[in-house]
Structure 1
Amino acid sequence: MRILLKPVFTIDEVYAKCLAGVGDARLVASFQVILPAVSAHADLYDLKAGLSSLYELPQNTALNEDVILDGVTKKQLKSLYSQYMVPQEKPARIYYDLLIGMAPHGKCPYCGFGQASTLDHYLPKSKYPFFSILAANLVPSCKDCNTGKLAGVAVVASEQSIHPYYDSAIFVESQWLYARVEETHPPSVTYFVSPPLTWVEESKKRALKHFEDFKLAKRFSIEAADEISSISDSFSESIEYLDEQEVRRQLLRRSAAEFRKHKNSWKTALYQALASSNWYCSEGCRI
């Protein structure tokens, strides 16, 4: 999990750039009429997100062909993103690329290891069409996080996954992701969530919700399996000269380095778990 700086460009400038790519003058006129409403929705989003209360925003249940405001259909509002922001040849594509570029080191902020190559609508445009091109609702993400996350929308505060632009720094400053070693052949690890006891209940549930929504237990375990194989290979040439204490010391050094970078990365949890496992340090590392 990573926290990102909130985008600085406004809904008005992104909206104007999208309209610059619309060839139908009548449609442009219709979109211009509803701009004040779109801007008002953006302000409300910013207010609610700042209070971790996006779950309070009502969902739009209209059908795609239904007119939802001053002659503009739900489908047309959603198309501002799909037809006028995503395509390479459209003027608003510049904002799409800028948002992708906000991912730290090109990594997805939801999982921390996938390549950020697409934009995820934190609130889905199918249910919140007014936020289809709102920069604060568009999070650079990997394809697995964007397409593989659970599709439900939060209806209470504790069901909200972590929002990279708005949520409290506790989700990156305090460790809540851990792993335990499974005595299998080859060794493996299982990931789990254990937030600090000092956290309020809502934050604890949100960390778990994020972990479940993006199916991180399985995805982290797959990454860890490859890393464990690499660790075994690195030990193989000198393992006969390494006792349990030296194996643990090397793992602790690596876990400390990963912890300094990201407290809640799958690598931090992995190396902590391996270093704390007597079985792995004495036997598992030799398998």
Structure 2
Amino acid sequence: MRSIPLLNVDATTVFDDVAAAKHLQRRRRMHDARTNVLAAYQEYIEAVPEVGGLAKAVLTDQQKEAMQHAFSVETAPMAALRQKLLKRTCVARCPFCGISESSTLDHYLPKEQYPEFSIFPNNLVPCCAVCNTRKRDRILDEDTNVRMFLHPCYDAIAVLEFLSVRTRVEADALVISYRLVQPEGMADLTFQHLSSHFKELDLADRYRRMGLEHLGGQYPALRRAYGVGQHAERVAEKLIEGAEDFEEISGVNYWLAKLYRALAANVDFCAGGFEAVRPQPV
């Protein structure tokens, strides 16, 4: 759940280059759709971030197929756009979840419903395969008519703390639970978007599982900090230092930063309870 910059590329040029690289029949269909597609691009830009209710462009079935084909069956210009979108360092980690590598492109407005945005760079979000699969072709919640997912390029969430973590050591196991808390100053609609995004991408459980896996790798360092003198305060200091490093790079709501701060405040964990994350021999 983090913002990413838009790719600095001209969408009209992308459209023209991809169309020119298609075979004659689809090239003609894209050319005939060009005016309506570019008009849809402008409507998208004017509506962001609330693009979920955009009217669909008037396209024939053949033009819709040509637009979808432009993304699905790559030409050299489309391959170049994909490379530019995915290879930026700022999007190496999935902006939807903040966990995994960005290895796919998600159509924020699904190409099946909005084929006009199939190759629109602003609608293509680098993300991990898990988030892409979970998001699927959904846009608006059927009950509330609210967007179900944040748009990483346009939803600018203020620097307010909304992610919370609870931890406890129980029967030689570390129990971690993530949840969202609406901070003072955050609009209700923004929190609705955030809550839906968090729920639909199953971030609470994914953060929990990845947190436990991550801590297993930190076990030797925690054990050294504790030492033979059983210095719980050194463990807490190390965790706070790690949290500050994460916050400096990824913000106060980064899931690992929150986990480190919660563990630093957990007396049981710092006083030897970290043995619960000790990796088991394979």
Shared fold by TM > 0.5? yes
* Cα distance in structure 2, aligned partners of 1:279 and 1:32: 66
Task: Tell me by how many angstroms 1:169 deviates.
Answer: 4.3
- Find the residue that maps to 2:21 and give its secondary structure: coil
Partner amino acid, structure 2, of 1:15: F
* Cα distance in structure 2, aligned partners of 1:15 and 1:105: 23
Matched, 1:124 2:110: yes
Aligned residues: 271
- Find the residue that maps to 1:187 and give its secondary structure: strand
Match of 2:206 among 206, 219, 232: 219
Partner of 2:11: 11
* Cα distance in structure 1, aligned partners of 2:91 and 2:30: 36
Partner of 1:78: 68
- Identical aligned pairs, as a percentage? 24
Maintained 8 Å contact 2:168/2:269: no
Partner of 1:147: 133
CA deviations 1:95-126 (Å, max 9, x no partner) are 11111123516211111231111111111111
- Find the residue that maps to 1:18 and give its secondary structure: helix
Q: Which runs of 5+ in 2 are unaligned?
A: 277-282
Partner of 1:27: 26
* Cα distance in structure 2, aligned partners of 1:84 and 1:105: 21
Match of 2:50 among 45, 53, 57: 53
Q: Which runs of 5+ in 1 are unaligned?
A: 61-67
Task: Tell me by how many angstroms 1:234 deviates.
Answer: 2.1
* Cα distance in structure 2, aligned partners of 1:70 and 1:210: 33
CA deviations 1:50-75 (Å, max 9, x no partner) are xx321221468xxxxxxx62573432
Distance 1:139 1:191, change over 3 A: same
* Cα distance in structure 1, aligned partners of 2:64 and 2:165: 44
* Cα distance in structure 1, aligned partners of 2:79 and 2:137: 26
Partner of 1:167: 155
TM-score normalized by the length of structure 1: 0.85
Partner amino acid, structure 2, of 1:285: F
Maintained 8 Å contact 2:162/2:183: yes
TM-score normalized by the length of structure 2: 0.87
RMSD: 2.2
